[in-house]
Amino acid sequence: MSITLSPTGAFVGRDTVVEFAIVAPDTTPTEGDWKILGCTRSKAINLQWDEVDTTSSCTEGDIRESLVTYKNETFSFDGVSSADETKNQEELYLHIRNPEGGQPTGWLRFSDPRSSTEMLVLEAPALFTQFNKTRNYDAEATFSLEGRLIGSGTVTEVLINGAP
């Protein structure tokens, strides 16, 4: 894999890789558990903190005070549907539709370029909450996936294969 960066370090979204593992959230996936979610287009990870207003009669000035309480990390991906089993779309859909253990959980791995030779890799347990299939009569068949991370997981820097 080769990543081309602009002089400012910008990169295109197609260099980001999305993978999943259908493994219980309390079990760390092995390398053989990971499967690429193929034919993706848009890939979004959203991080947001909930906050509480701590303004009181002790607050000085006319500025509201706040503290954060809980972190929410959600994700959404979409792409072109494929009947090719190596794209793993149908496997994930079937897991979300009828999950073993009653909950549509697993692990998500989101690999983003950090440089031309490194990826920043987020791996965390996930709750898959929505899988949509869109089948327009005269357009490409598409899918979309949404969910949330349900654990901290890990964030690591990984050298790209063949990097010095």
pLDDT at position 150 over 80: yes
Dihedral sign for Cα 5, 11, 12, 16, please.
positive
SS3 for 17? strand
pLDDT digits (tens, 9 = 90+) for 61-101: 889 999 999 999 999 999 999 999 999 999 999 999 999 88
Q: Above pLDDT 90, what percent of the chain? A: 90
* Identity of the amino acid at 45: I
* Identity of the amino acid at 159: L
Find out whether 41 and 78 touch, Cβ atoms under 8 Å.
yes
Q: In 54-99, where do the E strands start and end?
A: 66-80
Task: Give the Cα separation of 41 and 75 in Å (integer).
Answer: 13
- How many CA atoms lie less than 13 Å away from 76 in the CB half-sphere? 5
pLDDT at position 2 over 80: no
State residue 47's pLDDT score.
97
pLDDT at position 140 over 90: yes
- How many CA atoms lie less than 13 Å away from 2 in the CB half-sphere? 1
Return the DSSP state at 67: E
Burial 13-33 (b: 16+ CB within 10 A, else e): eebbbbbbbbbebeeebeeeb
Confidence of residue 48 (pLDDT cuts 50, 70, 90): very high
Q: Above pLDDT 70, what percent of the chain? A: 98
The CATH number of domain 13-159, selected from 2.40.30, 3.10.290, 2.60.40, 2.40.50: 2.40.30
pLDDT at position 1 over 90: no
Average pLDDT over residues 133-145: 97
Question: Where in the chain are the domains?
Answer: 13-159
CB within 8 A of 150, min separation 6: which ones? Answer: 25, 105, 124, 125, 126, 127
pLDDT digits (tens, 9 = 90+) for 24-38: 999 999 999 999 999
Average pLDDT over residues 143-158: 96
Average pLDDT over residues 6-24: 94
